[in-house]
Structure 1
Amino acid sequence: MIKYVRSMLFIPILLVAAACSTSDNTMSGSASSTSAASSSENSKLDKDARAALQQLLSTNPKATEINDKAVAILVFPDILKAGLIVGAQGGNGVLLSRDGKTLGYYNATALSYGLQAGAQSFGESLFFMSDSALAYLYKSDGWSVGVGPSVVVMDAGTAKSMTTTTLKSDIYAFIFDQKGLMAGLGLQGQKITRLNR
């Protein structure tokens, strides 16, 4: 019961964090201290994203096959989701080039409605298979997944029927390292926005 109450108290916090995470940090204070904090946050996010991607590739052969053909990978190492009728999820991630260079930092948020209660966390990796799909991400002022490039979520069933010769979609998504009891994970309604840092 205590865990359930804590999860429900977490929902407003997550909603506020998701709303605030995409806004510019223009609060008063020292520019140098803000820059140092951002640099530290970026360094930690880079490390977490690379570790999460390595974990996915070491445990999922299909992800490794797709990774070898991708032009870039957007990795969200830790997305938090909580809900009670209205749900919210959010987390920050790193866009990595084929050779592992950091191309930018992004935020993913989503709201959902329906019968849901509880909280969970999970990792998410989006493999961009074409330069045009990557260009769409760059030019979007907040990309709503489902609009623009085609996205295929690689669940166990999809992965079995997929071969490297049938990779025709723009983006392949893997959801992994799920912790918590909520069900129905997906990318519906997710909005991905570049962070200015």
Structure 2
Amino acid sequence: MTMISRRSLLALGGAGLTLAACGNGIGNTGAVQLDARVDATRNFLLNKYPGTRDLEAKSVGVLWMPLMTEAGFGVGGSYGRGALRINNVTVDYYSAASASVGFQIGAQQFAHALFFMTPEALSTFRRSDGWEMGADARYALPDRGGAINASTLTSTAPVIALVFGQAGLIAGASLAGTKYTRIIP
């Protein structure tokens, strides 16, 4: 039986993150390309889950993250870029990143959207140097029929997060501890 040192384990985890990030557009810059990805993600979500149209209409702004890549082998992390839209017009671009340590192995990609339901929540997000997903957000999961339930639409949470389009080998996707930072693409 071969023993793997901690240093080897960390190197493998870092290499896995680097490889997973290659398909994430990390090296690709450009607002036009990022806006095109956001458009495609928005259209996908609104067509697959029609109830999200009402959710978007009730929100004061939406942060669209079209592609998050998450990988881990003991040590893991995720990264992605997206756009904040108000009235479906891009006003800022953001990156999202998180790190984790624990029992994990694999990689996955997913998309998510943060619906800001109050002007105060949106203002706090835009003013911060680095906003972290916290307890004031509510997670909403569409049912298998493609519906967003009534409690989501009538929620008093200042931020509603939707995670969708998961593909990969890690079970589930979490935004806990994800930090959002304004960028210039």
- So what's the TM-score if we normalise by structure 1? 0.76
Task: Give aligned pairs, total.
Answer: 166
**Do residues 140 (structure 1) and 128 (structure 2) align?**
yes
- Structure-1 separation of matches of 2:41 and 2:149: 22
Matching of residues 44-55 of structure 1 within 5 Å: 44-55=33-44
- Give the letter aligned to residue 190 of structure 1: T
- Structure-2 separation of matches of 1:119 and 1:75: 21
- Structure-2 separation of matches of 1:179 and 1:67: 24
**Do residues 155 (structure 1) and 141 (structure 2) align?**
yes
Q: CA RMSD in A?
A: 2.5
- 1:95 corresponding residue in structure 2: 84
**Residue among 12, 16, 25 paired with 1:10:** 16
- Structure-1 separation of matches of 2:61 and 2:71: 29
- Structure-1 separation of matches of 2:105 and 2:96: 20
- Structure-2 separation of matches of 1:170 and 1:178: 25
- 1:61 corresponding residue in structure 2: 50
- On the 8 A contact 1:81/1:120 being kept in 2, the answer is yes
Following TM superposition, by how much is the alpha carbon of 1:62 offset from its aligned partner in structure 2, in angstroms?
A: 3.0
- Structure-2 separation of matches of 1:161 and 1:97: 23
**Partner-residue secondary structure (3-state), 1:167:** coil
Following TM superposition, by how much is the alpha carbon of 1:104 offset from its aligned partner in structure 2, in angstroms?
A: 0.5
- Give the letter aligned to residue 48 of structure 1: R
Gaps spanning 5+ residues in structure 2: where? 1-11
Change (3 A) 1:123 1:154: same
- Give the letter aligned to residue 35 of structure 2: D
- 1:109 corresponding residue in structure 2: 97
- 2:175 corresponding residue in structure 1: 187
Gaps spanning 5+ residues in structure 1: where? 1-6, 16-20, 22-36
- Structure-1 separation of matches of 2:41 and 2:172: 21
Deviation by residue 1:69-115 (Cα, 9 ceiling, x = unmatched): 011110010000000111100000001112x2110100000011211
- 2:114 corresponding residue in structure 1: 126
Following TM superposition, by how much is the alpha carbon of 1:167 offset from its aligned partner in structure 2, in angstroms?
A: 2.1
Change (3 A) 1:196 1:69: same
- Structure-2 separation of matches of 1:51 and 1:163: 23
- On the 8 A contact 2:49/2:142 being kept in 1, the answer is no
- On the 8 A contact 2:85/2:92 being kept in 1, the answer is yes
- 1:26 corresponding residue in structure 2: none
- 1:24 corresponding residue in structure 2: none
- On the 8 A contact 1:14/1:89 being kept in 2, the answer is no
- Give the letter aligned to residue 144 of structure 1: E
- 2:160 corresponding residue in structure 1: 172
- On the 8 A contact 1:14/1:90 being kept in 2, the answer is no
Higher helix share: 1
- On the 8 A contact 2:20/2:107 being kept in 1, the answer is no
